[in-house]
Structure 1
Amino acid sequence: MRPTWPFVGRTAEVEAAVAGIGRYGEPGVLLVGEAGVGKSRMLESAALRCRDEGMHVVVTAGAEASNGLPFAAMAALLPERGHRDDPANVFAAAAGTLREAAGDRTCVLVVDDVHHLDDASAALVQHLAATTGARVLAAARTGSTGAPAVVALLRRPFVRVSAVEGLNRATVGALLVSVLGGPVDGLTVDRLWRVTRGNPLFLRHLVEACRASGTLRRAGDVWRWKGQIPVQHRLSDLVASLLGGLTAEEAHALSYVAHAEPVPLDVIETLVDASVLVELEQRSLITVERVHRDLVVRMGHPLYGESVRARSGAERRRDVHRALARAVTHGDTADHARLRAVTWRLAAGDPVPGDQVVGAARDALTRCDAPLAERLARHAGTAAGAGVLARALVAQDKAGEAEELLSRCAAGDGTEPPDELARLAALRALNLCWNLRRPAEAAEVVRSARVSGPPGGGAAAELAVAELALAAFGDGSADLSSADLSCLSAGVRDDVIASVCDPLRAYLDVYLGRPARVADAYAAGRLGGPRVWSAMGAAAAACHVEALALTGRLDEAFAVARSGYRTAVEREASAEASLLAFGVGVCEMWAGRPGRALPRLQEARALLDDHAPFPIQVYVFSEHAVCLAAVGRFAESRRVLEEIGRRLPAASNLRGHLTLAEVRVDAQIEGRRVKAAEAGASLGEHYRSTGWYTKAVEAFYHSVRLRPSRVVAEALHEVAGRCDSELFALFDRHAQAVVGGDVDGLLTVADALEARGYHSLAWEAVSSAAGVADGRGDDRLAARLRIRVRDLAPLCEGYRPPWTANTGPQAALSERERETCELAAGGLTNDAIAERLCLSRRTVANHLQRAYGKLGVRSRDDLPRALGLERPVPPVGLAWLAGNPPPERDRRTWAAGVRPPLGAYPVLSGPPAGL
């Protein structure tokens, strides 16, 4: 980590302050902000700029320790000690000293911590501003604008207030990357920004504390923070000093807010006088905000709450929670009053009946707060509480503990109702299959539940969901193309298992050939609601992005992924942020920009915990491996594939997805493409036979592009026709055109792909068309297509599918042909060119016609683009047509075959002598 943190994010504010200082007739600038926000470094930067602009700068600062010493801050301007008794002499001497030093330059008085100036120094600053025209640039802490020195400067006014806020999220992210020396995941950036509110000093101390505690460390290539806010003396001392000077009532009020935030305003008002809350809000120690219909109170800064809680003893914490529980019990009862009351009573150590605890835990689970549900359910001590606890553990992917608890529930004392046992069996099967990668045991759990007797009520639906999930991610032997998905839409009462329904339906529809149906369902609001199981919410979001990308709606896919990622980061939803970062990376891969995709996919891996469901891991790891290969990091790509191969259950049909990733990796490597094409065709046939039509399209499409085959193209045509995706129809047309050598078909497909944002596929189609034209000896068409290839290349930002046809270099123009074309591109007629080059008109026409054929253009209007000249081309000839010969260096440049920019020299009539 860098020893000195860079000064960032303040350029505009510093420039505005310096500009304000330079405008006469306007007040100076008073920077006001909280401690550590960067006021002193802004003053330092502004002072340096003022000096650079020729101003005379005097820097001083107030200090709380010297507040009672007259002129303590202005010693540099004071006369000899014997002349300090008379204030008039002091003021006059200081003004004279300042004028003499400044001369005819603008004078700037820079005063840090101006609120700590002693009265005499404050009066002297005012006198100098009034009599010498000195400009004042000062800084004061938030809440100190009532200090006498500040009031006096504002009254005249000698200064105007400029509020200094914390750094924004983007600036904090850039600062962290600079300091840590590598990329930082978005969740960590957002959390550090929220905890510190962009305060650079708080941020520095917190980062140092997190690194020292080991909670901030690299996960692969990406920095990630996991864990609680660590206690660090410098940080805690700094925050404690900001909270000093509180009255007993104010300290009690902060205690209630810190231990319960966000706490409803009506609850806190039963415990604290309103005037105390107003005072704390004015000092920015608390904030009041509206959440839905309720007003809630929070600490003014996250670190304030951490400081208050850290300084509270166990007995004090119990007293606070007991008072809060009484307040919510005796106050207005909202829908979630029971949840708050039970939570606070348990925190106070008071007895709570088991049925109330279980009810509160169920409420928390319904509200998608699985961590709170877990904490509450651990207090229940009943069989019902064990069931809620198991659900909360699965919802957080705490698979090992959940399996231990669920297995004990299955072997219980027989008091549980059959329906509850069946639901718990379904939950256990999902946990065993997805989280613990034990699909065979999961299947046995479901089979045993069926054998033990037909469940009634909704439990049958839950078991059907588990069976469908096992079929989707099991050994792949089941043909799911005609599977009944009705169990995913009704009858499921268990909140955690209900979380599985939408993403499972979306996944099956996407990969069984119906991605457009999924995209439309999300647009209509039929899919995508909140999920108790966070990983399933993440999977649902990823399926939405994938459905859009696979139907040719890449711009929409980008928008959904980016918007969802921002929301997930703000909610601290790690699993969802991971899969939406993955979604952005997938979209970048479709757009042909693996260089942009790689940081997103690295972040997705860093945010993905090892206990996340294995299908999620397979997709993230596989795309990361393909991206690494696309940017030339083949050894790393292989290691990633090997790692995920070890994690994948041997019997899972996701082995096929891993094989497809290997095909895509091998396609990037010379010498492995024939094998990759064969593997892709074989995999496509396997998917076609089992009804996974979308996967079959992808496999066949990769194969036919690597090694054109009529058989594979026909297979792709057949499965694409079974799907509802317009993009797959384009893939089909692309394959048919490649196999048939259809230049027009390839160009039509390229236009459609480019319009939809699939730039590398468009580039590939045009490159193939140029190769076909070359093979036919159609030089003019091939040359024109090479220009199109060159135009598409910037959209891929340096990436080129390595298996595409080598279109060869553009046919070289002779010296005279290029000279003629450049003049024509500049707007000269054939007659004018002939006169300037001392050629006949027919010779000029012949040069242009031969050049048109080599360049693949039809007229002089196309020449600037074909020659790579800037538009508009200046209507002048080459430099060597000027009346004055060019410098010798440019003669040597031309002799080497390199032309200077068109219009580099003025053109006069007639060729230069001697040429």
Structure 2
Amino acid sequence: MIGTKELGGRTLIGREHIIEGAINAIRSPGMGGVFFIGDSGFGKSVTSRRVAELLQQEMSVMNVHASSSLAKVPFGVLAPFLTDLQIDEGNSPVSILRAMWTRLEQSHHLKSHPLLLVVDDADHLDEGSATVIAELATAGWAKVLITSRQQPGPPQDLNRLWYDGIAERFELPPLSRDQVNQMCQTVLGDVVAASSSDILWRSSQGNPMLVQVLLDESRESGSLMLQRGVWLFAGDLPRGSALKDVMRRRFLRLSDAEREALQLVALAEPVDQQAVVAISGAAAVAALVEHQLITITGDAVRVLRLWHPLYGEAIRTLVSVPRSLVLRAQLLTELAEEPEDTEGLLRRVSWALDCGLAVPDRLLIRAATLASQLFDNDLAQRAAAQVTGPGYQLRAQVIMARAHYNRGDYSAAAALLEPGFATGSTLEDLVDGSLLWGSTRSALQHPAEELLRDAQRLRAAGKRVAAASQDESVLILRKIEDHSALHELMALSAAGDFSALGDKLQVLEHHSQAHLRTTETKVFILVMRAEWLCARGLPLQARVKLEQASGLFQGGSEQVFFFAEFISLRLVLCLLDAGDWKGVDAALERFVVDSGRGLIPFGGGFYVARCFLLLRQQRYAQALDVVLAGVEAVRNNDPQQLFQLCVAMAFFASAALGQVAAARQLLAEFEVAGHGGPKLTRWYADAFMAAGKEYCAKDGTGLDELHDVADLLSDDATKAVELQALFLCISLNDRSRLPRFLSVAADCEGPWAAALLAYGQALDDGGAAAFIRAAETLRAVALTPLAAECFGVASRLSKRDGDIRNAAWAEAGRNACSNDLGQPQAQSPEALNIQKILTPRERAITSLALEGLTDRQIADQLHSSVRTVEGHLYRSYAKLGIAGRQELGFVVGLTSPNALH
């Protein structure tokens, strides 16, 4: 494998296989060369230089650099090699080829070293030069390494090398998320928070040059900072103004019309194609598309956008205000006064503010609201600050508070929200920001009682406003009652009073006018019902509620509350409670793709979810690596109050791994942290802290605390956390609560609870068959270390009882777990037979059948369908060479009934 190396300040990541493949192709006797094709900034040149560097000991390397300035000059790039050419031979490709070869032989000693001709930016080659270079490769006089953009691509003569099979083509793809993270860590030299590199990946669209630009600009601006060994975003994402010099160079290659069209698109994107064509001409637009500076999208209405969003800020900095005003006046004669789409509105308002123009308050408020929801905090504050009308002042303050909240400055948000809460003179004034104020209180760790008092203040304000608006008094009172109730739901969640929360939800859901509620209110109630269901250990039912909430919210909201993130985090936690690891991965992937700049404040939830998953799989070392970066991510910006849980999980993982010194530091940090956020997450934190203390001290005090947590949670409304606490007890070899553990696990939904139930039943039963069943179920939810332990117990019990069939089955399972964990062990012949013959799912089902369970009972146990169970059993019988279930006992661990004899 070709290693990663820096060349010219650029780090090669994700190009190793391409470099290796190119070298092998160039060395191949039947191959004339290689093409590297990719967009601007994808590293074509630096990758070709790396290939040339690795081949320089065995080949004579010559570089040819094409350029747009020489594109129309016949044989322009070859001029340095044609100084001895006679004037009358200047138009003869054959004469030029001979002259060039003679010069190359003289200067590069080609008799001892074959020639590698590296042609950079071949899309700028003139036709004559392309013909000569193609002839060199076709005749076998040289190998060629050609770089080119996708559009317009290399000249036709060079392309024929690939069509004819003489050259191989490699397309340089954008970097993946993991590759961007690797690049960031290579450049920065320390751990890079995954949420931070995900922001760079999304913003750069995987373009290596743009990743580097954003890294440099982020460090220079201070928005990307090193905190306790972890690089993370502590401020807003830069807008790409560092690309100004790059764009200025590209500007110089454009005609006046092309430059004008590019400026129009940058200032107004997305912009109607016909409007730009009317001003700058169709030829200019076509040229910009060919140069990969703009792109055309849309069906009914064709709109123009920049090829990459980061180009916009760089181009806009090159346009003076007077020039911008002229372009704006020209464009507005061709466009509607107010764009309908979000992106167009934000760009239009931002453009007006850049030009110093007045914008109506209505548009400023709308743009500022949208910008705050999209975490464009600068624009949100700029637009809100320009609002002058008295009727919009409270709304403007709420929007600026949301921008502060996005940045993690909750005190600044509170300073703007508190004076205006419940003081407005209209329904809109009372409703705007009320939920954000509740979340700000939670982030500042205000007591739940304060939220309950806020609900009463809101009701009193509603009565005051209703009395002054008799015609709408009923509507006002109903909507204010709804919002007051939402504050009460937040308070009950924060206090952990899930019995009262359930009662309150019951009243709200069965209200006679529930159908008249706003979408936002319906969504909030559904999400809180989902939280209540998760607390009770019913995550599958909770998931249904969250999917309903997500469906309702598709249209967005005029409020500044973060509904999308509110739903997303609870969906992830719901899937974690269920044990749906694939669902967790998919939800986190959607969160990364959809969140955009929201990853800066809400990215901490990514770490909490990932660490929680790994801890549930007993992968403590990996969990610790993830959560330590997460602690830093939520230290400065923690909108969902996850810091305590993050530190608790880090403490637990450190303690379980025996890293006592590191665990003590985390313990001290936990003890000085405040107690904010939902009580549910704090209970999880308390359970992990108690278990971690027992790992450290091993004196029973941690277990006593864990018992206290479990006893506190023994109410039906909090079975999910109680199950976690009781499982931690059992993991610490304390079986005193085994009966309660079995009862709670049986009452909880999902594969994870089912696996724990099977494990508890094995501990209670004590038989080999029960431990095999538990091991298979545990392995199915990736609780592999515990599954291996159960297989080991089953093997020992079976051997003690002389049950060679179950012993072989258990050995096969334990060895499979060892392989899953990267710890391969020597396998017995019987175990190898089982492993080869049956899949893990087939072994799980046949082991249950061996115990005498019916197909229906197996389906219920494994959360599958009867038809699926029947299919797996049928295939297992065929593989084992038996007629049916009655012969299973004779072939466990063996390939056929005769093998017993």
The alignment's TM-score, normalised by the length of structure 2, stands at 0.73
* 1:405 maps onto 2:416 in alignment: yes
* Equivalent residue letter for 1:313: S
Matches within 5 A, 1:163-562: 165=172, 167-169=174-176, 170-193=178-201, 196=204, 198-225=206-233, 226-229=235-238, 236-265=244-273, 268-269=276-277, 271-290=279-298, 295-321=302-328, 327-329=334-336, 345=352, 348-355=355-362, 357-358=364-365, 375-382=382-389, 384-393=391-400, 395=402, 397-398=405-406, 399-410=410-421, 412=423, 416-417=425-426, 420-421=429-430, 427-435=436-444, 437-450=446-459, 456-474=477-495, 476=497, 479-480=500-501, 482-485=503-506, 487=508, 490=514, 500-522=524-546, 529=553, 536-561=563-588
* 1:587 maps onto 2:613 in alignment: yes
Q: 2-side partners of 1:423 and 1:665: how far apart?
A: 43
> How far is the alpha carbon of 1:510 from its aligned partner?
0.1
> How far is the alpha carbon of 1:595 from its aligned partner?
3.3
* Equivalent residue letter for 1:446: A
Contact 2:726 2:741 (8 Å CA) reproduced: yes
Q: 2-side partners of 1:263 and 1:435: how far apart?
A: 43
Which residue of the partner structure matches residue 752 of structure 1? 777
Cα distance, 1:303–1:608 mapped onto 2, change above 3 Å: same
Contact 2:448 2:495 (8 Å CA) reproduced: yes
What whole-Å deviation, never above 9, does each CA across 1:376-400 have from its counterpart, x for those lacking one?
4433334542343354356552533
> How far is the alpha carbon of 1:460 from its aligned partner?
0.6
Contact 2:651 2:666 (8 Å CA) reproduced: yes
The correspondence for 1:735, drawn from 760, 763, 780, is 760
Contact 2:342 2:370 (8 Å CA) reproduced: no
Cα distance, 1:243–1:136 mapped onto 2, change above 3 Å: same
* Equivalent residue letter for 2:12: F
What whole-Å deviation, never above 9, does each CA across 1:565-590 have from its counterpart, x for those lacking one?
44246675445544244323322322
* Equivalent residue letter for 1:586: F
What whole-Å deviation, never above 9, does each CA across 1:310-338 have from its counterpart, x for those lacking one?
22233444554555555443589779987
Q: 1-side partners of 2:343 and 2:240: how far apart?
A: 33
Matches within 5 A, 1:811-850: none
* Equivalent residue letter for 1:792: C
Q: 1-side partners of 2:67 and 2:345: how far apart?
A: 51
What whole-Å deviation, never above 9, does each CA across 1:619-672 have from its counterpart, x for those lacking one?
344334333434444433443454344343389745433321112323543624
> How far is the alpha carbon of 1:468 from its aligned partner?
1.5
Which residue of the partner structure matches residue 48 of structure 2? 43
Other structure's SS at 1:288 match: strand
What whole-Å deviation, never above 9, does each CA across 1:168-211 have from its counterpart, x for those lacking one?
23443333232323343344434444555555455445433433
Contact 2:175 2:207 (8 Å CA) reproduced: no
RMSD: 5.2
Q: 2-side partners of 1:549 and 1:824: how far apart?
A: 33
The correspondence for 1:706, drawn from 732, 741, 751, is 732
Matches within 5 A, 1:668-687: 668-669=695-696, 671-672=698-699, 674-687=700-713
Contact 1:462 1:492 (8 Å CA) reproduced: no
Other structure's SS at 2:642 match: helix
Cα distance, 1:417–1:96 mapped onto 2, change above 3 Å: closer
> How far is the alpha carbon of 1:717 from its aligned partner?
3.9
Other structure's SS at 2:698 match: coil
Q: 1-side partners of 2:587 and 2:339: how far apart?
A: 40
* Equivalent residue letter for 2:645: Y
Q: Which segment drifts farther, 56-65 or 209-218?
A: 56-65
Other structure's SS at 2:636 match: coil
* Equivalent residue letter for 2:543: A
* Equivalent residue letter for 1:38: G
Q: 2-side partners of 1:334 and 1:860: how far apart?
A: 66
* Equivalent residue letter for 1:300: W
Which residue of the partner structure matches residue 855 of structure 1? none
> How far is the alpha carbon of 1:682 from its aligned partner?
1.7
Cα distance, 1:106–1:735 mapped onto 2, change above 3 Å: same
Q: 1-side partners of 2:130 and 2:433: how far apart?
A: 74
Q: 1-side partners of 2:206 and 2:641: how far apart?
A: 37
Q: 2-side partners of 1:274 and 1:728: how far apart?
A: 63
Q: Which segment drifts farther, 367-376 or 740-749?
A: 367-376
> How far is the alpha carbon of 1:601 from its aligned partner?
3.2
What whole-Å deviation, never above 9, does each CA across 1:391-426 have from its counterpart, x for those lacking one?
4356552533332233322475xx613674366556
Larger Rg: 1
The alignment's TM-score, normalised by the length of structure 1, stands at 0.72
Q: 2-side partners of 1:141 and 1:422: how far apart?
A: 53
Contact 2:22 2:51 (8 Å CA) reproduced: yes
Contact 1:78 1:94 (8 Å CA) reproduced: no
Q: 2-side partners of 1:477 and 1:825: how far apart?
A: 51
Contact 1:539 1:579 (8 Å CA) reproduced: no
Q: 2-side partners of 1:65 and 1:376: how far apart?
A: 43
Q: 2-side partners of 1:12 and 1:265: how far apart?
A: 40
The alignment-based identity, stated in percent, is 20
* Equivalent residue letter for 1:388: R
Cα distance, 1:433–1:861 mapped onto 2, change above 3 Å: closer
| Structure 2: runs of 5+ lacking an equivalent | 464-475, 834-888, 896-901
Contact 2:184 2:192 (8 Å CA) reproduced: yes
Which residue of the partner structure matches residue 683 of structure 2? 656
Contact 1:709 1:739 (8 Å CA) reproduced: no
Which residue of the partner structure matches residue 762 of structure 1? 787
Q: 1-side partners of 2:746 and 2:97: how far apart?
A: 92
* 1:7 maps onto 2:18 in alignment: no
Which residue of the partner structure matches residue 849 of structure 2? none
Q: 2-side partners of 1:633 and 1:528: how far apart?
A: 47
Q: Write 1 or 2 for the structure with the bigger share of helix.
A: 2
Other structure's SS at 2:231 match: strand
Contact 1:420 1:459 (8 Å CA) reproduced: no
Q: 2-side partners of 1:198 and 1:358: how far apart?
A: 34
Other structure's SS at 1:137 match: strand
Q: 1-side partners of 2:202 and 2:212: how far apart?
A: 14
> How far is the alpha carbon of 1:457 from its aligned partner?
2.2
Q: Which segment drifts farther, 535-544 or 318-327?
A: 318-327
Q: 1-side partners of 2:505 and 2:572: how far apart?
A: 24
> How far is the alpha carbon of 1:740 from its aligned partner?
5.6
> How far is the alpha carbon of 1:96 from its aligned partner?
5.4
Contact 1:318 1:349 (8 Å CA) reproduced: no
* Equivalent residue letter for 1:41: V
Cα distance, 1:298–1:698 mapped onto 2, change above 3 Å: same
| Structure 1: runs of 5+ lacking an equivalent | 800-808, 811-817, 827-857, 865-915
Cα distance, 1:708–1:316 mapped onto 2, change above 3 Å: same
Aligned length: 803
